[in-house]
Amino acid sequence: MATYSRQDTQKQIKDCLSLLKMVLGPDLLGVYLYGSSINGGLQKYSDLDLLIVSERATTYEEKTKLVTNLLQISGIYMKSSRLPIEMTIVVKSSVNPWRYPPCFDFQYGDWLLKEFEGGNIEPWPTKEMPDLALLITQVLLASKTLCGLDPDQLLCNVPHRDFMMALVHELKGLMDNLDHDTRNALLTYARIWNTVETNTIQSKPAAADWVMNLLPDVYQPVMKRAKRICIGEENEYWDDINALIKPCADFMINKINEQISLTKDFDSQKSLIKIAK
C-alpha cells in the first residue's frame, strides 16, 4: 500500500500554490496538476507533477525563493511519506507559439536535490527540454486546473512529430538510469513502447500490464517486479533477477525502435495521442 497520506498531498499542493502566487503574483497564468494524480492514481513512488505557465521568466532571486521553499514542501524519493514534487515553470511566449525543442524557465525535481541542497539554484546545463512536448500533451489531455486559465487557453497542441521526437529523446537517456533507478526506467520503457504502438498514454502500472502480454516468459519476472514495487506491493529489490534486467530493457528498446522505424516520416502520422481509458 502507498505510504503517503491524502491530507499531506493536499497540503503540499496548497503550499505550492501559495508559493507560486507569492513569487509570480499577477504574472501567474495557470497551474496544472497532471501525471499519476490524474491518470491511473498516485502510487507509493509517484511524484506530484505540476506545470506552471507564467507571463515572464523568474529572476535568480525568485528561483532561490522557490528552491528554498520547495526543499521544505517536497518529499524525498523513497525516504519520506510525503511525495516528491516535480514542478516545471514555462514562460507562455516560449511555448506559444509552439516550436521544438521547447524551453523551460525553472524546474524542481528530486533528481536535482543534491544540487539544490548544495546551493546551486540553476543546475540545468540547458533550458532546452524536449520532454516538455510530453508534459504539455499530458496537461492538455488530462489535468486539473489549480489556478488561472484552462490549459487550452494558454498552450498549443504539440505536433505528433514533436511528441514522437521527444519520446526518442527520452529513450536515449534511460539506459543511464537503469542501474540506479531500475524500477522507474523499466516502467518508462514500458510506457514508451505502449505509446509508440498504440498512440495512447498509459499509467506506468497499466503500461506494465500491457507489456507483460508481449514479453517473453523469461522477462516476465522483471516487469512483474517493477509493477509490484510501483504500486507498493513489494520493496525495491533486484538482486535475485539482476541478470535479467538489461536483457529485458534491451528487448523493449528493440521493439520500440522497430515500431519507430515503421513510421519513417512522423509528419505522415495522422493519429492523435490520447489518454488511455
Domain residues for the domain of 49 are: 6-158
Q: Are 108 and 86 spatial neighbours (Cβ–Cβ below 8 Å)?
A: yes
For the chain, the average pLDDT equals 92
Whether residues 178 and 125 fall in one domain: no
Whether residues 34 and 152 fall in one domain: yes
Whether residues 151 and 246 fall in one domain: no
Query: Is residue 1 in a domain?
Result: no
Whether residues 144 and 195 fall in one domain: no
pLDDT at 1 over 50: no
Whether residues 16 and 153 fall in one domain: yes
Whether residues 146 and 195 fall in one domain: no
Query: Is residue 50 in a domain?
Result: yes
What does the pLDDT look like over 116-150, one tens digit per residue?
999 999 999 999 999 999 999 999 999 999 999 99
Q: Show the CA angle centred on residue 45, arms to residues 252 and 19, nearest 5°.
A: 125
What does the pLDDT look like over 210-257, one tens digit per residue?
999 999 999 999 999 999 999 889 999 999 999 999 999 999 999 999
In the listed set 93, 125, 158, which residue is the last one of a domain according to the structure?
158
Whether residues 202 and 229 fall in one domain: yes
Residue 222 burial (CB count, 10 A): 25
pLDDT at 5 over 60: yes
Could you tell me which residues are beta bridge partners of residue 115? none
pLDDT at 62 over 60: yes
Could you tell me which residues are beta bridge partners of residue 74? none
Q: What values do phi and psi take at 86, rounded to 5? A: -110, 110
Q: How far separated are the first and last CA of the chain, in Å rounded?
A: 23
> What local confidence, expressed as pLDDT, does residue 3 receive?
59
Q: How far apart are CA 16 and CA 61, in angstroms?
A: 17
Whether residues 63 and 143 fall in one domain: yes
Answering whether pTM is above 0.75, one says yes
Single-letter code of the amino acid located at 201: I
Q: Show the CA angle centred on residue 9, arms to residues 111 and 14, nearest 5°.
A: 100
Single-letter code of the amino acid located at 79: K
How many percent of the chain have pLDDT more than 70? Answer: 95
Confidence at 2, pLDDT banded by 50, 70, 90: very low
In the listed set 158, 191, 224, which residue is the last one of a domain according to the structure?
158
> What local confidence, expressed as pLDDT, does residue 265 receive?
57
What does the pLDDT look like over 199-220, one tens digit per residue?
999 999 999 999 999 999 999 9
